[in-house]
Chain A
């Protein structure tokens, strides 16, 4: 076997292996469900293990293959019923799966890496020996040891999660269903036909005026279709992310000795792979929080006359042009008084500050906020939810919390369907056109229509429905220096009220030209001089335009002028 060929089939194996292990993890989790017939699950698992063992051996990963052999033995014993299922066994199986996954990552980086499974193999053999004797079959003392093992389990998982984020380069692979490619090819085919028609009509443009109009109309439709189908190539379903979350919930529940049922809906919905990859870690934080802070202990739940087993729901759905992911629990809900107190303690708010209930709830997303006094293995360091917020905002998304004391909490995350395609406002700033993502704009008002325009501490502010909003003039920072439009037109300007930070800010632009679908292109490193520029796009007239991220823009402007203290 030549080295190149070996390398190629090894890579093929590793790609496939990742997929198999993901399937296996779901199946292992399934085994924990009681009152279900597991025969089909076992058959499937045995097939996967056998396949893994065989192909692993064939491409020269002997250690991997021999480890799978031990695992297969245990699976065979389990499916034949000679060993009873319990949580310790499923814990062990999941641990094996984790180790295999980390093996695959290690091998992907270095195909000659030496793997060592001696400890786990011993555990597998011990499990085989221990449980196959009928006397010990019903031993219940297994539980405490199993929960002692979990932290270790949890760490391996953590290490695994850190890995993919490190190698998130452009050389990543994505699996695409054949149908998507067929759709794309069909549309291309159609385009070719219309193009040849145009070629024919151009011989006599005047005579074929109407035909040409029709063809151009069709080509426009095709261009739109092509854009849509090409974008779907980047989309992946949420299934694998949801099963990762399910696993995180299971582990967290074991650690906190809580009983939790996970209900997943909408996992078939597709979202841009980049978004899914970036969301996965923050969402794990969120579900761990739900387990740790949300769901009460069984005793407490019994006292409160709630079902003893808590429920966490994960739901994904499309809503118009946006994608919504919901994480909800039927736990104790968020206690706004307690959060308010903690907010004062941590110095996030001032004593006596007037806040709505929602504003108080949003404090949990602030850096340094934690209601737990001591950090536990699961949560309490006060960074988790802040990371969640930062990630969502950087993905041009938004979030909502609704919570009822005693009933539970729901987090709703709204995301754009794709990072590279979104709705944007085309605005004029003096004589230049810019794009501002519509998701960052809450409301648009004309300065003329505003009741009051004041100057506070050198900054212009407006009053809108009893709220004082500071204005930030985009043209002050972005217009060409030579531009000298006199100030008397100021009242004709438009204000984009934005909620990119806790306090609303009004961004002043000269004119709003419209709203349109924007295909974002990355900024090349030499183009980053413009404050707040997050990308570029090409407008309908063929000219490039800069996409302004209001949040970054504000940060840059404020760090450039530290004196510009926020009046509010």
Chain B
């Protein structure tokens, strides 16, 4: 975590004023050892993972229902949803990223939250050639840093698409 902070500081100091205007804030989180980022503007809030209520008949990636201050929302396991290898799951500090997808408020469960980071547009490579763990469909771009670390920029709306769950209810 400390390393990343310094990376962040370095990256910022090199930005010219023109670049700064093209900078957006991202929430950085971890799945396995990979770092992912989502635009902060798409994040409503982040909470610790409360207990989940199992919903019969739901797919594996659907963790269940959680209580968000009196509202009941669905928790999606981002790992399982994106097909990220779950064998080395490290859930020491799991967190839920609350976001609105259309009319639906969803909670996306991630391994841990790292920080909020400003990333310039020019730091993000949108032309992906390498497939990463089978989750490339959801990846909008890769932000690369001088210390060779990188952050995968996630298309959250695409990643937690739940349209397969929405069907016409009988009655």
Interface residues of A (CB under 8 A from B): 394, 432-433, 477-480, 521, 524-531, 533, 536-538, 542-546, 549, 551-552, 555-556, 559
Contacts and interface: CB of A to CB of B under 8 A. Distances in A.
Interface in B41-67: 50-51, 53-59, 62, 64-67
A545 B53 contact: yes
A318 to B, nearest CB: 28
Interface of B: 50-51, 53-59, 62, 64-67, 70-74, 104-106, 162, 165-167, 169-171
Given A536-B65, A552-B171, A526 B74 contact: yes
Given A479-B56, A530-B56, A544-B53, A524 B167 contact: no
Contacts of B54: 432, 480
A552 B53 CA distance: 21
A526 B67 contact: no
Contacts of B65: 527, 536, 544, 546
Given A524-B73, A543-B51, A543-B67, A529 B170 contact: no
Contacts of B73: 524
Q: Which 9 A-B pairs have the closest CB atoms?
A: A478-B56, A529-B57, A544-B65, A529-B58, A526-B165, A526-B162, A525-B166, A544-B53, A536-B72
Given A394-B171, A528-B166, 7 more contacts: A433-B53, A478-B57, A527-B55, A527-B58, A529-B55, A545-B53, A552-B171
Nearest to B58: A529
B47 to A, nearest CB: 13
A546 B58 CA distance: 13
Main secondary structure on B side of the interface with A: loop
B64 to A, nearest CB: 8
B67 A538 contact: yes
A526 B53 contact: no
Contacts of A530: 55-58
B166 A544 contact: no
Contacts of A526: 74, 104, 106, 162, 165-166
Contacts of A545: 53
A529 B165 contact: yes
Contact of A546 (B55, B71, B162): B55
26 contacts: A432-B53, A432-B54, A432-B56, A477-B56, A524-B74, A525-B104, A525-B166, A526-B165, A526-B166, A527-B65, A527-B72, A528-B167, A529-B55, A529-B56, A529-B58, A529-B62, A530-B58, A542-B50, A542-B67, A544-B64, A544-B72, A546-B53, A546-B65, A549-B171, A552-B170, A556-B170
Contacts of A536: 65, 72
A538 B51 CA distance: 12
Nearest to B66: A544
Contacts of B67: 538, 542-544
A543 B53 contact: yes
Nearest to B68: A544
A556 B162 CA distance: 22
Contacts of A480: 54, 56
